Copies of this chain bind each other. A is one copy, B any other.
Amino acid sequence: MSPAASAGPVPNAVLSYEQAGVRYELIDPLKVAAQRAAAATALHLGAHGLAEVAASRGESAYVVDVGPFHLASIVECLGSKVLVADAMKALTGRSHYAAIAQDTIAMAINDLVTVGATPLVVQAYWAAGGSEWFEDTERARALVDGWKAACDHCQVAWGGGETPALAGIVEPGRIDLAAACTGIVQPKERLSLGERLGPGDAIVLLASSGIHANGLSLARKLAERLPAGYLTEVAPGLGYGEALLAPTLLYSPVTEALWAAGVRVHYAANITGHGWRKLLRHPAALTYRVHTVPPVPPVLQFIAREAGHGVAEAYGTLNMGAGFALFVAAADAARAVEVAQRRGIAAWVAGQVEAGPKRLVVEPLALQFDADALALR
């Protein structure tokens, strides 16, 4: 699994995430300016007799105290995974848009539940490159069916949405997919912004199904340099493109079941961009020590090997088999694993939180990420 063990057919140059075309240094100044401007608008809630939950700034969803409970909201983009679906459609004739729909909803819902919210309403944002996108009725139908199935799985209401045709903005034949989600934190004690996070807590990791929807720029770039491209086998009978398109797991049934089972989540992190560095998401100075590493899905083993990534780059970029992290009291850890497994998602008591400098130590991989490995706020 580590690139040192790579025995690929051709010696590959290392392919970094930056080489894959995402230049965070250009986006980050805007993000910082936007975050500051956004933070300054919180006072407006006072005019309505309400207030933000300030600890949610910089977290995965924004939370407002509306009195009897908290309100959480978010908008999330799918990103470039659609391009893999489009490429595979051209190669195999199969539509993967039902899976793509699930991915899009997962981007929003898996973030929303990190704050302790029950997702209630999803809004669809499907911006096509032109009216022609909708001519492929099988693909359009798959998008609708997959969207509904994901809503059913998460017990959320699909409220509506937008289906604009944006010729000149969205590329011809492409679609820009996003989801907005609104939920409530009820009772308020369900809020999991980390107030209760502390030394002694257990780290429970929930399995991913594969790459989910982060790291796709890298994965697509890699396909370009494979002789068989997306049809390359990553495991016997499993093609690269097919494996990439495994839909993102939806974690809200697990977080709902945990609450119902009396397990209080102290903090949660959706492991998306920045891979395992997301375990450092909470601002507190704490050491996260991992003793058990989930099995790595074949597609992620393949990417790490073919991209020439060391463990630090692989685990710092991709989810490497862990799609979601829960931080719970040590006494609740085994039960949390059981609850997840009863909802069909493999889970592991993977480590513990310790007093100490802010860092993540992954013992089985001799890997460490320090506080400065993740700068989200």
* Min CB gap A141→B, angstroms: 7
* Min CB gap A343→B, angstroms: 14
A124 and B170 contacting across the interface, CB-CB below 8 Å: no
Copies in the complex: 2
B22 and A144 contacting across the interface, CB-CB below 8 Å: no
Given A83-B168, A148-B37, A171-B169, answer yes or no on A120-B176 (Cβ-Cβ < 8 Å). no
Question: Of A127-135, A282-290, A348-356, A357-365, which stretch is located at the interface?
Answer: A127-135
**A31 interface residue per 8 A CB criterion:** yes
Question: Of A59-67, A189-197, A298-306, which stretch is located at the interface?
Answer: A59-67
Given A163-B27, A170-B169, A178-B178, answer yes or no on A73-B148 (Cβ-Cβ < 8 Å). no
**A333 interface residue per 8 A CB criterion:** no
User: For the complex, would chain A's binding face be called helix, strand, loop or mixed by DSSP majority?
Assistant: mixed
* Min CB gap A89→B, angstroms: 15
Known contacts A26-B132, A169-B170; 8 further A-B pairs (Cβ under 8 A): A30-B137, A30-B144, A37-B144, A37-B145, A73-B123, A74-B159, A76-B162, A77-B166
What residues make up the interface of A, taking CB atoms closer than 8 Å to B?
21-24, 26-27, 29-31, 33-35, 37-38, 40-42, 44-45, 47-48, 50, 52, 57, 61-62, 64, 66-69, 71, 73-77, 79-80, 82-83, 118, 120-121, 123-125, 127, 130-132, 134-135, 137, 140-141, 144-145, 147-148, 151-152, 155-171, 174-176, 178, 180, 182, 184, 217
